[in-house]
């Protein structure tokens, strides 16, 4: 199992309707076949960190992670979600997979998606603050 956690905050100029739409699209992505479980909602962490919402999801293995990253539902939602992020933290993942190369393999999937989808790379680069790990 691979469990990933993301924290984010919306841009100040995003309307409540746009925020609600983005959250709905994240929930739609969280419901794709490759996701074993998920939760999307307000972040209960320290408000001083500047993050307001979170998304946690579990995937059975690296194959499920790759299917998730390239799922048409995921690909379709990101262009409507990412432009509303002021800051995004793609947090540490937790896994019970003993493969010592798993983190590198996960990174390779991200890098492959960036290479294959230049528009996704542009959308990610347009987020004012992005942090991994």
Q: What is the pLDDT of residue 92?
A: 78
Cβ 109 vs Cβ 65: under 8 Å: yes
Which residues are registered as beta bridge partners of 88? 8, 130
What is the pTM (predicted TM-score) of this model? 0.93
pLDDT, tens digit, for every residue of 88-103? 999 879 999 999 999 9
Burial (0-12, 13-18, 19+ Cβ within 10 Å), 77: buried
- Residue 35: is its pLDDT beyond 90? yes
d(CA 59, CA 112): 18
Q: What is the pLDDT of residue 132?
A: 87
Q: Which residues contact residue 112 at a Cβ distance below 8 angstroms, ignoring those fewer than 6 apart?
A: none
Q: What is the pLDDT of residue 32?
A: 98
Q: What is the pLDDT of residue 109?
A: 95
């Amino acid at each position: 199992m691979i469990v990933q956690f993301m924290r984010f905050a919306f841009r100040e100029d995003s309307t409540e309707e746009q925020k609600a739409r983005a959250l709905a699209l994240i929930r739609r992505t969280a419901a794709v076949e490759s996701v074993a479980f998920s939760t999307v909602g307000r972040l209960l962490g320290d408000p001083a960190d500047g993050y307001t919402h979170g998304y946690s999801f579990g995937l059975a293995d690296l194959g499920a992670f790759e299917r998730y990253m390239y799922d048409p539902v995921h690909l379709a939602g990101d262009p409507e979600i990412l432009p509303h992020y002021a800051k995004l933290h793609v947090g540490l993942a937790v896994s019970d997979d003993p493969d010592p190369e798993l983190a590198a393999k996960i990174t390779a999937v991200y890098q492959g998606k960036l290479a294959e989808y230049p528009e996704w790379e542009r959308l990610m680069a347009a987020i004012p603050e992005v942090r991994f790990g």
